[in-house]
Amino acid sequence: MKWLFLNSGSYSGKFNMETDLFLATDCEPDVAIFRLYRWEPYCISLGANQDENIINFKQAEKDNIDVVKRPTGGRAILHAEEITYSVIYPVSSDVSAKELYSEINSALKNGLEKFNKKLEGIELEKNQPDFANLYKENIGTVCFAASAKSELKYNGMKIAGSAQRKFKNSILQHGSILCGSFHTRITDYLNLPGEEKKIIESELKEKTIDLNTILAEEINYESLSEALVSGFLEYFNVDTLQYV
């Protein structure tokens, strides 16, 4: 397997999602892509099948917050103080989508541990929530309210979330590694009663954690990117990674 690395920098939500979709639908056999990027301006992404009416677009526009649909499933995320990754992997018989989900999260874990030894406490979630019922509740409006199996947690709190979609010739997986706490402010942009928003905000603060909080320091995104790439190289036993 040939691996390519793409560091896209900071772009709009539309650009970021269209790029992931383009890479996934233009995937070559025996070529995998690892991409890192950020969001400028900050952006709320909604799952492919999520109702857009949950978002207060007027407030989002007022605060210069983009809103975009993801090509993958899941629920709403406020992309702000984070580094986002995507992996495009060709469909093959050697790994299933479920196995790849776990493998990619393990590689991310490896990279985070290289970034700082304090992150060696990160673990993969062992259980799978009942998302069908969770999505019926208002708390199920936001992605970081629950951890899917194999997602990354630190001291029982979610530090990274991911979503996946299988195309004809490829699997797209992308997700957010929390570097700061701004994601909890997604409740400012939800069309829900005030009490419901307070409950969701409380849940996010109790169930999520970010690198800044763990390490008590500002995150150097360049160093973090280098560590994540190194973690992927080592975990997937890649001899060379072509930068594009």
d(CA 177, CA 192): 26
Helix, strand, coil shares of the chain, percent, nearest 5, are 40, 30, 30
Residue range 132-141: mean pLDDT, rounded: 58
Residue 140 has a pLDDT of 60
Our CA dihedral for 46, 37, 176, 14, rounded to 10 degrees, sits at 0
Written as six digits, the tokens of 8 are: 């896209």
CATH class of 2-243: alpha beta
Give the model's confidence band at 95: pLDDT under 50 very low, under 70 low, under 90 confident, else very high.
Answer: confident
Residue 94 has a pLDDT of 80
Question: Where do the domains of the chain lie?
Answer: 2-243
The whole-chain average pLDDT of the chain stands at 92
Give the model's confidence band at 231: pLDDT under 50 very low, under 70 low, under 90 confident, else very high.
Answer: very high
| Position 115, amino acid | F
